[in-house]
Amino acid sequence: MWTSWWLWALVAVCAADTFRDRAVSIMEKTPVVDGHNDLPWQLLKQFNNRLLDTRANLTVLTGTHTNIPKLKAGFVGGQFWSAYMPCDTQNKDAVKRTLEQIDVIHRMCQLYPETFQCATSSADIQKAFQAGKVASLIGVEGGHSIDSSLGVLRTLYHLGMRYLTLTHNCNTPWADNWLVDTGSDEARSQGLSPFGKRVVKEMNRLGVMIDLAHVSVATMKAALQLSEAPVIFSHSSAYSLCKSGRNVPDDVLQLVKSTHSLVMVNFYNDFVSCKNEATLSQVADHLDHIKKVAGAESVGLGGDFDGVERLPVGLEDVSKYPDLIAELLRRNWTETDVRGVLSENLLRVFSLVEQRSNHTQAPDDEPIPLDQLDGSCRTQYGYSEAPGLHRQPGALLASLATLIFSLSLL
């Protein structure tokens, strides 16, 4: 009896090793391209973006989910680094602070050229794979970072941005965020406003991937129906398994399937189990579900490392990707499906977005109407030939009231 138990245990251990060995073998040729990592945010919070601070050395950095040894152990060959600024920068210094985060990502490539290779295209990712480096791409997390300006959108593209998350946890003047669906925020655009639709069209023209993580369901559907290229969810999971508004409902997954788009699964416990605790196996459940509903070509990985506080047991940092891939192999995922989730699905979407771009087409140069903008510190240059005539309605009424009161005293 005891001999039989010991043999079964030995078989189980050997099988586990076999799945992980297979995972490593696959990942040596097809590395991970992860959709969302907030290491630049940690570099700002901990070191005020001073990368030359000895404590910020990415080869020995501690207290984060990400450093260079962990990336290598996790077979990460491509990473969309998040240029993120919180919603409280909206209508203030969001553009400036976003530029500083983009600068940090560029400096990571400059300071660690043996590890990071800045990339702006699907072909660049393949070149980084061949060189054994981490293709480093820029995703801007939150539409407030363009300050409702198509000119800023284009400028961020020229600086390397290759996806824009349409909202973070707040509405912009032209797109609604996921908190609208929870009742914690009020719908402003009922998805996308007319200007929001033009933002989507301009992203298509440029070749910037549209990221629908953080947006409301109405915004998801509007963008999926409007976009002429596939879209991504850079770090979202399956709503059917965890009913968080940050996740993707099944009817939207059907649209993902029909548009050949991509959901990159988030590892944050609250979006995996809807509890403080979660496991690697539950993350695999989300991958299974999205694969079942939207198809194997619509699944990717967007761990949200260094942007969240709670991660599943078994996925504590970026070095753990091989264990997740081993679990998928254990669940009878084919090698083709595994290569898809690792990077090939993202490369397909990115390539299609590039193909649908059209830089010969004239840029959209119609600004958002002034009365749709918030913020009391805005100037109004360009909105009127006579400065001050076309003020926001509230300011104009206040001026008229003052004038009428003054006249009454005469």
Positions marked active-site:
36, 38, 141, 168, 214, 235, 304
Q: Tell me the two tokens of residue 199.
A: 């933002």
For residue 229, the tally of other CB atoms under 10 A from its CB is: 23
| Dihedral sign of CA atoms 77, 322, 233, 144 in order | negative
Q: Tell me the two tokens of residue 385.
A: 């030939």
Q: 292, exposed or middle or buried, with CB in 10 Å at 0-12, 13-18, 19+? A: middle
Strands 161-165 and 134-141: parallel
R_g of the chain, CA atoms, integer Å: 23
Residues 294/287, Cβ–Cβ less than 8 Å: no
Which one, of 288, 285, 279, 224, lies nearest residue 257 by Cα? 224
Residue written as token pair 């991660």: 311
- The span from the CA of 79 to the CA of 57, in Å, is 18
- Residue 274 DSSP SS3: coil
| Dihedral sign of CA atoms 64, 69, 73, 78 in order | positive
Provide the greatest CA pair distance for the chain.
Answer: 108
Residue written as token pair 């078994």: 314
Q: 135, exposed or middle or buried, with CB in 10 Å at 0-12, 13-18, 19+? A: buried
Q: Distance between alpha carbon 48 and the CA centroid of its chain, in Å?
A: 22
